[in-house]
């Protein structure tokens, strides 16, 4: 209870005052992501580009250059080698031209023979090029259908303005998450797609709570300016937002530092999505309702509701 009391119960923050700088910032982030996507591109993991992925641990510290030197004789084109954790742990991704598990096994044996006996394979994964391309297509479709379904639900649950604004906010969250992965050149794989879908679910959950309070206040305060209704609704749900962000943040930090390399990409994406999802709900999804001039739905039971000028 002490923590809850530290959060103001009757705050009066004017969120919509900063809506235009927020629109500009969000537009720049989306534009930067598009430029990076065509310029730098995503660092696709083995899930999407296909190939043999090996998580290696050496018995002593080694450098990436020494590993590449030992593998030069194999003449592997487009070899990806990335250090993670200590200087004994590396992730190696090599392309496999022959779409068969036997060819991948033979390549793994050749790689291990070149590296010597001081290496341990902690994880081995093979995905064929055709399967990788299909997974990439299905991942894009999954995100697209999820966003469309969410928009339709919000449209039916509230008004069309709510659905459009929610979709804009969700697109912003998903696109900027992809931009983060391009900027940091983090591996983009199936777990990242799962993180993007989870971010969309988390963000829309927060958005629906605020939208429900906005609709309630629109009926309650019939003569209050729309921007003030939005600010009031955001302030009334601020305590819930802070508590939700804090509890999810604790879990994600534990996943990031103790979860290991396998789910590090998921944890990083979720950490970014936690903050950008909250930001987009407060500064995009809610203020954009005023730009679209959301309709004030009045009911007969509201005739005697309080009016605040």
As a whole-number percent, the residues of the chain with pLDDT over 70 amount to 85
Domain range for residue 232? 2-43+132-302
Residue 57 has pLDDT above 70, yes or no: yes
Compute the average pLDDT of residues 253-281.
85
Instruction: Tell me, yes or no, whether 307 lies in a domain.
Output: no
Do 137 and 115 reside in the same domain of the chain?
A: no
Enclosing H/E stretch for 34: helix 19-39
Q: Write down the pLDDT at residue 306.
A: 38
Do 33 and 164 reside in the same domain of the chain?
A: yes
Do 191 and 244 reside in the same domain of the chain?
A: yes
Residue 192 has pLDDT above 50, yes or no: yes
Domain C-terminal end among 111, 127, 143: 127
pTM above 0.95, yes or no: no
Do 119 and 200 reside in the same domain of the chain?
A: no
Return the CATH number at 253: 1.20.1640.10
Q: Write down the pLDDT at residue 84.
A: 73
Residue 28 has pLDDT above 70, yes or no: yes
Residue 139 has pLDDT above 70, yes or no: yes
Q: State the burial class of residue 292 (Cβ atoms within 10 Å of its Cβ: 0-12, 13-18, 19+).
A: middle
Domain C-terminal end among 94, 127, 160: 127
Instruction: Tell me, yes or no, whether 121 lies in a domain.
Output: yes
Enclosing H/E stretch for 16: none
User: What residues are paired with 51 via a beta bridge?
Assistant: 127
Mean pLDDT, the chain, as a whole number?
81
> pLDDT (tens digit, 9 = 90+) per residue, 66-106?
888 887 877 776 677 777 767 788 888 877 766 666 777 88
Residue 122 has pLDDT above 90, yes or no: no
Asked if 89 and 57 touch (Cβ cutoff 8 Å), the reply is: yes
C-alpha of 243 from chain center: 20
- Residue 250 confidence class, pLDDT cut points 50, 70, 90: very high
- Please state, in angstroms and rounded to a whole number, the distance separating the CA atoms of residues 281 and 211: 10
Nearest 5°: CA angle at 163, between 138 and 285? 100
Enclosing H/E stretch for 302: none
Structure tokens at 301: 């039971």
């Amino acid at each position: 209870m002490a923590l809850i009391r530290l959060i103001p119960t009757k705050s009066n923050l004017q969120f919509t005052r900063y809506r235009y700088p927020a629109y500009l910032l969000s537009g720049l982030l989306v534009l930067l992501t598009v430029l990076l996507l065509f310029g730098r591109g995503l660092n696709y993991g083995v899930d999407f580009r296909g190939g043999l992925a090996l998580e290696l641990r050496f018995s002593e510290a080694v450098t990436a250059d020494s590993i590449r030197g030992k593998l030069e004789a194999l003449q592997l084109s487009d070899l990806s080698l990335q250090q993670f954790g200590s200087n004994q742990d590396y992730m190696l991704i090599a392309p496999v031209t022959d779409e068969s598990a036997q060819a991948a096994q033979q390549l793994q044996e050749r790689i291990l023979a070149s590296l010597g006996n001081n290496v341990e394979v902690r994880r081995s994964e093979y995905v064929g090029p055709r399967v990788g391309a299909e997974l990439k297509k299905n991942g894009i479709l999954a995100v697209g259908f999820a966003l469309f379904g969410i928009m339709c639900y919000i449209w039916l649950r509230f008004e069309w303005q709510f659905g459009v604004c929610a979709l804009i906010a969700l697109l912003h969250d998903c696109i900027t998450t992809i931009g983060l992965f391009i900027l940091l050149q983090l591996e983009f794989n199936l777990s990242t797609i799962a993180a993007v879908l989870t971010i969309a679910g988390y963000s829309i959950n927060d958005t629906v709570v605020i939208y429900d309070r906005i609709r309630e206040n629109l009926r309650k305060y019939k003569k209050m300016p729309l921007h003030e209704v939005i600010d009031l609704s955001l302030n009334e749900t601020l305590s819930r937002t802070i508590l939700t962000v804090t509890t999810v943040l604790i879990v994600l930090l534990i996943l990031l530092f103790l979860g290991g390399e396998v789910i590090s990409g998921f944890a990083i994406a979720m950490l970014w999505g936690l903050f950008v999802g909250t930001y987009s709900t407060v500064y995009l999804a809610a203020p954009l309702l005023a730009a679209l001039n959301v309709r004030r739905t009045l009911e007969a039971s509201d005739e005697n509701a309080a009016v605040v000028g």
